[in-house]
Amino acid sequence: MGMTLTQKILAHHAGLDTVVAGQLINAKLDIVLGNDITTPVAVNEFKKAGFEKVFDKDKVAIVLDHFVPNKDIKAAEQSKTCREFACSHCVSHFYDVGKMGIEHALLPEQGVVTAGDCIIGADSHTCTYGALGAFSTGVGSTDMAAGMATSMAWFKVPSAIKFNLTGKLPSNCSGKDVILTIIGKIGVDGALYKSMEFTGDGVKNLSMDDRLCICNMAIEAGAKNGIFPVDEVTKEYMKDRCERKPVIFEADEDAEYEKEIDIDLSKIVPVVACPHLPENTHPANELGSIKIDQVVIGSCTNGRMEDMETAYKILNGKKVADGVRCIIIPGTMQILRECVERGWYTAFIDAGAIVSTPTCGPCLGGYMGILAAGEKCIATTNRNFVGRMGHVESEVYLASPHTATASALTGYITEYKEA
C-alpha cells in the first residue's frame, strides 16, 4: 500500500522506507518553534532536564508575538526569558519588537520553513506550514524543549482524509470560507489526529494566502496537520525566499485514505461560524439581524497581504459604522510597511479604523480589543470559544476578510457583494 503526502515526509525524516497509520516513529526536525507564551515554559523544562545547548542555532525559531509590545509585567518577564535564552544560545531566528510578526505569517514570509520540512511548534496553529508541502504540527512546551536539545520528536503516524478540490472560488470568498465550510461539514473533531490532505484541480486556483489560511485552521477540525501538494504556485512563492532547498514529496497513487470528500470551490458561499464553536457555520446572508460592536481583521489566519488588500478595497472611501470598533492587524512588519507604502494605512484611518503593530492581541483575549459582557465581534481569527476574546458573556463570530470588512461598514453581519 502506498503512502500519503504526510506519511512520505514522516518516513523520510524517520529514516524509514515506509510508515503506516498508527505507527510510532522518532523523526528528525528541521525547525522547532516557540512564542513568548510557550517558550518560557520550554526554557524551564530545557534547564530542568540538564540540556546545555540547542541542537542547531539556525533551526530554532522564537517569535515574540502574543503580548508584544508587552502589555504588563508578566508579559515583560516572559519576553525577557525568551530574549536571554535566544541570546545565550545564539538563536538565529529570534524575532522581537521591530522585527517580529505573528509567527505563522512571519516564518513562511521569511523563508524559515520550506517544502518537505518536518516542523514542530509550541503553538497549535503550527499546522499552517502544510501550505508549503511541509509536515508541521503543534506540540506542548516540553516537546519543544526536547526538540530544541535533541533535534528529534516522537509521532504517531496519522491516517488521512483526502479533500478533492474542484472549481474556482467566487470573488467574494476566500480560503477562510473554504475551511469554515469544511469544518461546518465534518465538525470540530471530524479529523481528530488525522492529516487533512488537499488535492485536485481546484488547488491551482487557490493563492498561497488561501492555502496558509486553510492549513492554519486544520487544528480546528481536530487534525494533526493540514497539507497541500507542491505545485507551480508553491514553487513561485518559495523562489529566492527559502533558506534551505525545498524537498518535494508526492502522495502515492495507491495511498490509503480513511475517506474522501469532494469540495466544489465554485459553490462555496460566504459563511460565518457563530458562537461558540468553529463548526457552527451559517451563510452570512442569513445573519443580517446580528448587530456587532467590534471587527478584527488580522491574526495568523488572516493577517496577510491579500487580507489587507481585501480590507482596503472594501473600506477605501467609506466609513466604519458608528458604534463599531474596527481593528486591523497586519501579520508582519513587512506587511505593515507595504500597507503604508501603498497608502492603505491612511485609507484605513480615514475610514475610521485603527491599525495595530503585528500581534496576536485580541485573538486569544490578550489585548488590543478585549470584549465586555454582551458585546459581539466579527473577526477573521480562528477560534470563537466561550470567553475567547474577553468576557464569557461576549460573542465571537468567525468570518473571512470580505465578510468582516463589509460588516464594519453596516454594523451588522453582512455578506460582501461587489458593486
Asked whether residue 418 is assigned to any structural domain, the reply reads no
pLDDT band at 291 (very low <50, low <70, confident <90, very high): very high
Predicted local confidence at residue 1, as pLDDT? 75
Domain boundary among 264, 289, 320: 264
- The CATH number of whichever domain residue 202 belongs to comes to 3.30.499.10
Question: Does the predicted TM-score (pTM) go above 0.85?
Answer: yes
Beta-carbon contacts of residue 227 (< 8 Å; ≥ 6 apart): 5, 6, 130, 131, 133, 134, 135, 195, 196, 197, 198, 215
State what percent of residues in the chain have pLDDT above 90: 98
Q: What percent of the chain has pLDDT over 70?
A: 100
Q: Which of 264, 284, 307 is the last residue of a domain?
A: 264
pLDDT tens digits for range 208-228: 999 999 999 999 999 999 999
Which residues, 6+ apart, have CB-to-CB distance to 395 below 8 Å?
275, 276, 371, 375, 376, 377, 384
Beta bridge partners of residue 163, listed in sequence order: 198, 261
Residue 419 reports pLDDT greater than 90: no
The mean pLDDT of the chain is: 96
Residue 174 reports pLDDT greater than 80: yes
What would the pLDDT profile of 354-396 be if each residue is shown by its tens digit?
A: 999 999 999 999 999 999 999 999 999 999 999 999 999 999 9
pLDDT value for 418? 81
Residues 258 and 282 in one domain: no
**pLDDT per residue as tens digits for the range 230-277:** 999 999 999 999 989 999 999 999 999 999 999 999 999 999 999 999
**Tally of domains within the chain:** 2
**Last residue of one domain, picked from the residues 211, 232, 264:** 264
Asked if the structure places residue 44 within a domain, the reply is yes
Verify that 144 and 249 share a domain, yes or no.
yes
Note the pLDDT of residue 140. Answer: 95
133-167 pLDDT per residue, tens: 999 999 999 999 999 999 999 999 999 999 999 99
Residues 298 and 245 in one domain: no
| Residue range of the domain that includes 365 | 272-410
